[in-house]
Structure formats: C-alpha cells, structure tokens
Chains A and B, each alone.
Chain A
Amino acid sequence: MHSRITTCLGALAVVGLVVAPIVTAQDGDIPRTASGRPDLSGTYDVSTLTPMQRPSDLAEKMSLTDEEAAELAETARLRREERNAPSDPNRGAPPQGGDGSAGAAGNVGGYNTFWIDNGTGAFKVDGQWRTSILIDPPDGRYPSRTEANRAAQRAAREARGGGVRRFTNDGTAYWLEAGLDAPGPYDNMEQRPYAERCILTFSSTSGPPMLPALYNNHKRIVQTEDTVMILIEMVHDARIVRMNAEHDPPEIKKWLGDSIGWWEGDTLVVETTNFVDRPAFSQGTGNMKVTERFRLESADSLIYTFTVEDPTVWTAPFTGEYAWPRSPNKVFEYACHEANYALEGIMKGARLLEADFRGEEPEGVVNPTR
C-alpha cells in the first residue's frame, strides 16, 4: 500500500499538479495470490482514444472534466454513426490518382470503420480523465532529441536521396528517377517494416512500452512466483519476465528485449534492456531501457506506467501511464503469417512499376473500371 501511494504521489510531483483525490484499492479489494502478492493474472483491453502525446494547444492541461470526457466520447460515437451510415449504392470508383488518405493507407484508403476497435473514450487514472498517455515531461510530449540523433536522421535522409517522395504513393517507381540502378524502398523484403513481414508487433503493441493500437488491443497476463508472461494479441508475441533475476549479458539482443521483474510493495516492476538495434518501439534503439510498473487500482483496473530512457535518442527520459481495464474477452490468435498476401503483392507490384518506368508495359488482370 505504502509504495503504491508513493508511486502515485511521485507521478503527480513530476507533473507538478495537485489534482483530484487519489483513489487506491484497500487491502482485500484486489485479488491476491496464495503468497499475498496482487494477482495480475487475467485479460485486459487497453484500447483508448486518448493519444500518446497531448495536443500542443492543451499545454499542461493533464486532465479532462467529466463533461469534456463525455463530449469526447460523444464525438467519437457520432463519427462512428456517420461512418456506419449507408453509402450510395450507385457510387462509382474512387478518384483516379488516389483519395488523399495519409499514413500507411497512403492515398488509397483502407477499409470500413467496422473493422476498427480502438476504444470509445478517454481513460481514467486514479479518478481523473487524462488528456494524454505521456505525463512527463509535463506538457505530455516527447522530450527533444539529442543533436547527434537529429544529425544521424538528416544523414540517413540524404543517403536515400532526400526522402522527399519516399513515403508517397503515386503509383510510379519514383525511386528510379535517380537512375535505373538507384536503390529503392522495395528492393529487398527485409527493407519492409516488421508489421508487413509479420515479425513483430504493430504500433509498439508488444513494446515495451506496450501501447494501444487501432485494434487487437487485448493482453493476457499469466503470473507465477518466478515468471510473468504477457501475451500480446497483436502480433502473437509473448513477453517473458523473469522474476528476481539478472539481465542476460549485454551482447545477447532480443526482439522484445530482456525483461526482469521484482515487486516493490504491491507494484510489479519490470526492467527491459538488451534490445535489438530497431526495437518494436521504433523511435528507440538498442540502447533503450524501459521500466514498467503494474499496479491494480481496483479488482477491475490495472494502471500501467512506463519510463523510457535512451540517451542516444532523447535528451531526457519520459514517462507515460494509462488504464488497463479487465476484459471478459479472450485474446484471439493473430497468426499474421497465415495469409499475408500483402508482402508478396508489395514486392511483385514494385517490380511491375519498375517495368512500367522502363517502358515495358507489363500485363496484368484487366481492371473492369478503367
């Protein structure tokens, strides 16, 4: 109990705010193991509409009133309703040249909203609706990057030809404009992101730090005295936390890092190091250290807190936290390799666009709309 209160007060002190009364579970309110530890075992749904970083115009406004939280949820509900409305049955094809979508959808759009499951509102920590997952720095935004890191990013951009058109999707092999032998983003499948290759996590769902995504937001914890397992729905990752153990030697690198854990009062602390050079939390590097804290706020809600340190990337550590409500649902299998036709299509598609660029006019299935 004492350490839990200390943790809460510590977090509040960091952000320099005195806020709503702290709600902590009384002994007996939370499930416990035979040895008396809080029993974290169970399934959690971590979906939330609250963003990782706070919108800049909210400055140091850390919390929402009940009315603001209700408005946020209502806005999301209306938007879902709008998107679920019937479409024009006589609609034609979308616009030639793309529909202007951004992000991974890259100018061609994705799919209907009904596939998406990213929550219905903000989350509450200790009785307070939050405006961002990040709570330190106090503006809820990432700390600035080191000068060396910025310089390395600039150099990498220049090395790949300026990168101005790198992420555009205009339906051409634009990378060949620099020469028919110029390197491109689809030369080798190992250049493609982990998600496309079904290797590891999307949006740092496995992390660490473990973050919410557009869907498949369920986690399952199985806890024993010497090991804690965290099963991540997206994408079939199982994190193994060795309790009261030492880290592996630093030369042993792992996709999910090397996680060891211990109890501080009723809080499970997990420290992870030994990451591969490009960890699931893609902003970080192999030099990253992540410290996570799991505490049961009540029988039905776990508060997940994380601190990320990587002095080769950021000028300061940063901390975030959000609620993991227990869920009656199960974690479903997400065997991403099962029918990942996308990667094959991406690689072959790039070859055809390159043939187009060379003026070869390769054939394909006739598009009935063109």
Chain B
Amino acid sequence: MRKQTPVMFKIGMATLALAGLVVTAGVPAGAHHAFGAEFDPNRPVVLRGPVVKVEWVNPHTWIHVEVTGDDGDKMVWMVEGGTPNTLLRRGLSRDTIPVGATIVVDGYQSKDRSARANGRDVTFEDGRKFFMGSSGTGAPRDGRDVTEPE
C-alpha cells in the first residue's frame, strides 16, 4: 500500500478493531482480478500523456494514454481500472473522462510485456483525482450512513 498521510481522530476501543477492518477492506489495492498474477513488480512505470480512448467495458475499464518516449516516438499504453458499474451508478460515464486531457498514471507493466499497466493511481496532470465520488450508493439519505443528516 502506498504511503499516506495519517488521519488523527478519537476513537473507542471497540470501533478501533472494526476500523482496522475498514482499512483493510478499503485499500486502493482492492482488485479481484489477481493483479498480482497479471502485473510485474519489477517493471514499475509512470506514464504521462493525453487520453486517446476509453474502453468502458467489463470486467475492467481500460484507459488508453499516448506516451511520447525520449526519442520522440509515440506509443499508446492501456491502463487497467475498476468496474464501470460503480461509476455508472454515480452518474459518471466514459464521457466524463475527457479524451485529449493529459493524465499521469503510476503502476506496474503487465507480465506479458505488452503496453499495459495497472492504474494504481490515475490523476490529471495537476495531481487531482479523476473522480471524487463518495463510495456510497449515490442515493440521497438512503439510511446507510449514520452520519448523514436526518
């Protein structure tokens, strides 16, 4: 898991133990498709360039980004994200990802040594995250969140 700024808060003993599980369940490393089998830890990569295409497909979204090498040659890399269903449910679509926008991706190249990588962190060029959706259902006041106002 990448290094993150610690969050300070007061918390009861019982919740602390549960909170430990929340942390585990919510790590950005939550991938079912055995990313450990698909990507190579010895081939870290950072990609910068414009989005040229978005494959809004199951089981995983693929964002295509054009990378210009030191020699000026251009190559399109495919970046693996999560399921589109989650974003679709929040009212987002592939059109929300602007073709032409410059993005920064860090991840690991696939073991098959094709131009594919996992989108470990996908941001705009200024570092902002692509989407800022809450992880709720998107439904207002659905009773799932005890902190939401009555």
Query: What residues of chain A have their CB less than 8 Å away from a CB belonging to chain B?
Result: 45, 47, 49-51, 55, 57-58, 61, 64, 66-80, 82-89, 91-122, 131, 167, 169-171, 186, 192-193, 195-196, 198, 202-203, 213-216, 233, 235, 300, 325, 327-329, 332-342, 344-346, 348-350, 352-353, 362-370
Instruction: For the A-B complex with A112-B129, A340-B59, A370-B44 known, give 15 more contacts whose Cβ atoms are closer than 8 Å.
Output: A47-B144, A58-B17, A75-B15, A86-B126, A99-B1, A104-B34, A105-B31, A108-B107, A108-B118, A109-B35, A110-B120, A114-B133, A214-B32, A339-B59, A363-B113
29 A-B pairs whose Cβ atoms sit less than 8 Å apart in the complex: A49-B18, A70-B147, A71-B12, A75-B7, A79-B22, A83-B28, A86-B123, A91-B127, A92-B46, A94-B107, A96-B41, A102-B1, A104-B31, A108-B108, A110-B30, A112-B81, A113-B28, A114-B87, A115-B81, A120-B145, A196-B37, A327-B139, A332-B88, A341-B80, A342-B38, A349-B112, A352-B112, A367-B45, A369-B46
Give me the 8 closest cross-chain CB pairs, A-B, nearest first. A106-B36, A364-B113, A349-B111, A115-B82, A98-B41, A110-B31, A105-B29, A93-B44
Does the CB pair B132–A109 fall under 8 Å? no
The interface residues of chain A, by DSSP majority, are classed as loop
Task: Give the CA-CA distance A93 to B30 in the complex, in Å.
Answer: 19
- Asked if B69 CB lies within 8 Å of chain A CBs, one says yes
Residues of B within 8 A of A66 (CB): 146
Interface contact A78-B144, CB-CB below 8 Å: no
From the candidates A50, A75, A198, name the one contacting B9 in the complex (CB within 8 A).
A75
Whether B82 contacts A215 by the Cβ 8 Å rule is: yes
Cα distance A82–B2 in the bound complex, in angstroms: 12
Note all chain B residues with C-beta closer than 8 A to A79.
7, 22-23, 26
> Per-residue CB proximity of B59-84 to A under 8 Å, as 1/0?
11110000101100001001011110
Q: Are A73 and B135 in contact (CB under 8 A)?
A: no
Residues of chain A with a CB closer than 8 A to B44's CB: 93-96, 369-370
Do residues B26 and A76 form an inter-chain contact, with CB atoms below 8 A?
A: yes
Contact B115 A109 (CB under 8 A): no
In the complex, which of the residues A47, A117, A121, A369 contacts B146, with contact meaning CB atoms closer than 8 Å? Answer: A121
Chain A residues within an 8 Å CB radius of B82: 110-112, 114-116, 215
Chain A residues within an 8 Å CB radius of B118: 108-111
**CA A107 to CA B42, docked complex, whole Å:** 10
Q: Which residues of A contact B70 (CB under 8 A)?
A: 368
B107 CB → nearest A CB, Å: 7
Q: A171-B43, A341-B116 are in contact. Are A196 and B33 (CB under 8 A)?
A: yes
B2 closest partner in A (C-beta): A99
Nearest chain B residue, comparing its CB with the CB of A186: B37
In the complex, which residues of chain A have a beta carbon less than 8 angstroms from the beta carbon of B108?
A: 94, 98, 108-109
- Distance in Å from the Cβ of B76 to the closest Cβ of chain A? 11
A91 vs B69: C-alpha distance in the bound complex, in angstroms? Answer: 17
Chain B residues with a Cβ closer than 8 Å to the other chain, count? 100
Alpha-carbon separation in the docked complex, A57 to B12 (Å): 13
Query: How far apart are B143's CB and chain A's nearest CB, in angstroms?
Result: 6
CB contact between A171 and one of B4, B41, B128, B135 (< 8 Å): that residue: B41
* Residues A72 and B137 in contact in the complex (CB < 8 Å), given A83-B28, A96-B42: no
A342 CA to B80 CA, complexed, in Å = 9
Cα–Cα distance between A101 and B108 once the two chains are bound (Å): 12
List chain B residues, Cβ under 8 A from A76. Answer: 22, 26, 135
In the bound complex, residues from chain B placing their C-beta under 8 Å from that of A107 are: 36, 41
Do residues A55 and B127 form an inter-chain contact, with CB atoms below 8 A? no
Q: Separation in Å of the A84 CB from the closest CB of chain B?
A: 5
- B7 lies within 8 A of A82 (CB): yes
Contact A89-B120, Cβ < 8 Å, known A111-B81, A363-B113: no
Most chain A C-beta atoms within 10 Å of own C-beta, residue among B12, B47, B109, B132: B109
CB distance from A366 to the nearest CB of B (A): 8
B75 CB, nearest partner CB in chain A, Å: 7
Q: In the assembled complex, which residues on chain A have CB atoms less than 8 Å from the CB atom of B40?
A: 108, 171, 349
A346 touches B88 (CB 8 A): no
The answer on a CB contact under 8 Å between B41 and A68 is no
Q: How far is the CB of A10 from chain B (nearest CB, A)?
A: 26
The listed residue (B4, B7, B29, B146) touching A73 by CB distance below 8 A is B146
